Structure 1
């Protein structure tokens, strides 16, 4: 299976525009976290939402938004468990809407992370698997900078001791670190 949760960001006079595209053939629940340790600006979007297969959501962030992360959550049920274990992978404190201070995500989760307008004036971004892997992911941009991605499904090829959790069919939806 080749599917990608895509994050693209574009600069503008009024800030930046982010687009989260679910290229997976199933629903995911994207989550957004702002690193309040490096700045107090936050985007005007909720910290979590449902994204059906092949849908996108575009939102603007203030130009002084400094750092954050976006990740996808899989196999979620917020009605019976609104806490960090409400998703099979990538859940967060707060349930659907991740807590703005402690909702960074429960491993395993593939994470897009960035620092905007850093001390050197540049934007820094990457796809990180430091919290494990749960979805293919890609970051693109309009500045002709390199694409950051992990665009393959690592779940089936994950070493057996790290594989999991598993969905109801026994398919691995994550790879732990």
Structure 2
């Protein structure tokens, strides 16, 4: 299967907000995109990938936080709400920000609403790594990259580091 190209920060296309997917867009073409996104995510390797990261600006996320990579989750038009106000720091990385990790504060437990790959409504609660991943990928759909949560100094250092990597 042909892998997709993952956009890398600070590519301005990562800032493009995604648009909702209509019921008539849940078709064979979308199924192929979902399969290619999973293949790209697994090959990277990663645990989540938003369509925005592959320059498709639709509200689509693929996730698999399982150790054996056997629990694929598709979220179309996802939204979430915190179940409680509690937050926690967790180290995050991003396929669009290679070789960089930082602690990001996110809600501990969230309620997720989305459509699955067949357009069936999903409504579930999650916590831990899955909750962090859903929040991280939903940010991508809004044009937010996890480094936006970092200080300006850390963002500037990261941009310099990435510029050196690309120049090499």
In the superposition, the TM-score normalised over structure 1's length comes to: 0.24
In the superposition, the TM-score normalised over structure 2's length comes to: 0.24
Structure with greater proportional helix content: 2
- Higher relative CO (Cα under 8 Å, sequence separation at least 6) belongs to 2
